[in-house]
A and B are shown apart, each in its own frame.
Chain A
């Protein structure tokens, strides 16, 4: 009966917790993923829907490999659309990209920060402001609700201009320097710093933007900024294949780790599954009880040695060597009285002879011992070395090996 009560109580507590969690307002996830299937504010599902409208292909796909790998494995590879918080391509990726552009392909790279060979070779720098708006969820939320906005001006092909009002969250970075000869400015922020530029030197088109957030669900679904993303995307030729390369934001999404290799080989796969199975069997069967539980009962402990050691340490701190020597002599005398039946009130020649005969020790060692004992009895100071010496002599006398 009593157990039932506890169970009911436990269930009630769990239920209460679940209800309270459900009633709590959901916490916003301000993580930037740009992922094709994420519907969080800074995910990319809306952009993919938008791409379906803009481009001719039925469903633009995403890739999770580097440009270098793609260029090697897929040819032609289609026009990459890279949206990421930061792009740091290495030389191989950069070369693959430039080859693609040189061959007449197009690409759109949008990131808050672009570094590495790309920035160095093409000649631009990016400046990032208000960095807390990138990682601090609370700051992001405040900025979005606080309506702190910045106007972005987009240059249209017919020299017309159109203005879009973005939250400050989306406009934290801009191109602080560009090689005027290489680039055409397509959009600027309030301070006339470019936020969207096109590289002109090659036969293809390379577009660089510092506003990746413009491609997120939040800003595409907001009516006043939808068009900006659409305008950026529409720079890419609509009759060519476009893919979003998510490698630079999310990395590889496929099965990683050595398992990929193991599972691809028959023998290794067998080995692996047998191993896995065996481990599970091991855990199940080795954890089975072989006999009933034996509760731990701590046995009584004899503390005599600890007691003696503590006392010994106390005396050792005082280091009254003579006092200790006296104690040892007392014990020795008692030993002699008990074992050899000799009187120990005074040590004369006769005593030494008797002790030598009875104990079987050499006369020399007995004399040494007696000399020392006399010194102790006379109250002469004893030093450490002598104490160790007497220990040796007594061990020899008692026959302690």
Chain B
């Protein structure tokens, strides 16, 4: 029965049938062609039988394994590898259809490959999930056909596999390495001139070019016979809270990923860097009320806790209530902290409604308000308008983009730091801000 179920037919079969029908129709007019047609019919029938025998005589003729990690990183390309082996005594043509998780909504993915007898090949492809949560891979369907290519045999291989899509830990790693090796400039992270100095002494080290020569330790230099400098410690154990607005305004997607997921990915990156820099990282999420608070800490476990905490986040995209946020921060976060507030304001009036609460939060903490440039609207701005109506549309788009700048000004006027960023560059800009604030000693 399973043999019957795995029996499929190729297009070549239908082309051959079409050709036969054509020959017979011509044979109606020219009798000797009808004879050829009849002979070809029996030949085709023979091909069909031989092909079927070739394919179905061998059991378990194809081996396949799917390799992928247990966790996927949201919004990034995650590699998946299929390893196929042909155990038939003959070369085969394979069509491989992997049953991808339904969240990806990919229907047309097919791989065609030729595989010699006993040959092993690898198929690599990437999966870019856009939502956190449980993803499930099904079987891998392999359709094998021989050189005759009339019949196909389906193998259902591999195994049903579930994968958890986590906030982007790939980005986290990427920026982590860069932050430690001080190569962030390559990714657009600015090197900030140090204005304030921390006087906490750490160690004496060899002078390398670029070190501040005012800090040359002459005594040590004299002893060692080469230039030595004093190194001072960065301020440590400061609290960094990523506060994520899960409300209505964060639902808007850019390149398939919602602003909320951009914010979550970025929180993970910044928390990781903060932990690496010896600070304490914490998470607060809220919408119509404060949903969760993960207190800032610098324990070893903390990064994993943050990852799990962010993985679990669900939202109804309700209207956000900043008063609740203020109260929660007031009660639960007693130490002055860096508060990175991920939210979005589309207009100045939207900001004005929330401004009193933001000012209140600022009194106690160093508040950075992070919101997004609307890159979709910018596309309208950077396009030529053809008729008057389009000129109007463009004018309104410019007005909205301009308003975002006004929002920045308004916030700055109240001593609130801001990051206005395209969603894609959120992580980089947030890291920049964090490093800037730290080196300026504002916290």
Contact = CB atoms under 8 A, between A and B. Distances in A.
Contacts of A315: 392, 395-396
Name the residue among A271, A292, A327, A384 with the largest chain B CB count within 10 angstroms: A271
Given A290-B141, A324-B395, A274 B20 contact: yes
B204 interface: no
B252 A302 contact: yes
A321 to B, nearest CB: 9
Contact of B138 (A288, A291, A395): A291
Interface stretch (A49-57, A68-76, A304-312): A304-312
B9 A271 contact: no
Interface in B391-405: 391-402, 405
Contacts of B138: 291-292
B225 interface: no
A135 interface: no
A384 B388 contact: yes
A387 B389 contact: no
Contact of A300 (B9, B103, B258, B380): B258
A267 B100 CA distance: 48
Given A285-B8, A395-B384, A327 B396 contact: yes
A312 B390 CA distance: 8
A297 B28 CA distance: 53
Contacts of A295: 102
A297 B105 contact: yes
Contacts, number: 155
Interface residues of A, number: 51
Given A271-B21, A305-B380, A291 B97 contact: yes
B397 A270 contact: no
A285 B376 contact: no
A275 interface: yes
B178 interface: no
Contact of A274 (B17, B256, B389, B392): B17
A224 to B, nearest CB: 60
Interface stretch (A18-26, A80-88, A186-194, A328-336): A328-336
A270 B388 contact: no
Interface in B240-260: 251-254, 256, 258
Nearest to A337: B405
A270 B102 contact: no
B41 A270 contact: yes
Interface residues of B, number: 65
Contacts of A302: 252-254, 376
B410 interface: no
A255 interface: no
Name the residue among B97, B254, B396, B405 with the largest chain A CB count within 10 angstroms: B396
Given A281-B9, A334-B402, A305 B37 contact: no
Interface of B is mostly: helix
B252 A391 contact: no
A278 interface: yes
B34 interface: yes
Given A267-B34, A278-B21, A290-B97, A327 B399 contact: yes
Given A267-B24, A331-B399, A297 B376 contact: no
A316 B384 CA distance: 17
Given A305-B380, A324-B395, A267 B28 contact: yes
B105 A299 contact: yes
B38 interface: yes
Given A267-B25, A271-B20, A302-B253, A288 B8 contact: yes
Contacts of A312: 389-390, 392-397
Name the residue among B37, B258, B374, B392 with the largest chain A CB count within 10 angstroms: B392
A282 interface: yes
Interface of A is mostly: helix
Contact of A305 (B20, B23, B107, B376): B376
Contacts of A301: 253
A291 B154 CA distance: 10
Interface in A267-285: 267-268, 270-271, 274-275, 277-278, 281-282, 285
A290 B14 CA distance: 18
A64 B341 CA distance: 90
B181 interface: no
B402 A331 contact: yes
A180 interface: no
B300 interface: no
A103 to B, nearest CB: 41
A401 B253 CA distance: 27
Nearest first, the 8 closest Cβ-Cβ pairs linking A and B are A271-B24, A312-B393, A331-B398, A267-B27, A278-B17, A304-B376, A267-B34, A300-B253
14 contacts: A270-B24, A271-B21, A271-B23, A271-B27, A274-B24, A278-B17, A281-B17, A291-B99, A294-B102, A300-B252, A312-B389, A312-B390, A312-B392, A315-B392
Interface of B: 7-9, 13-14, 17-18, 20-25, 27-28, 31, 34, 37-38, 41, 97, 99-100, 102-103, 105-107, 130, 138-139, 141, 143, 154, 251-254, 256, 258, 374, 376-377, 379-380, 382-385, 388-402, 405
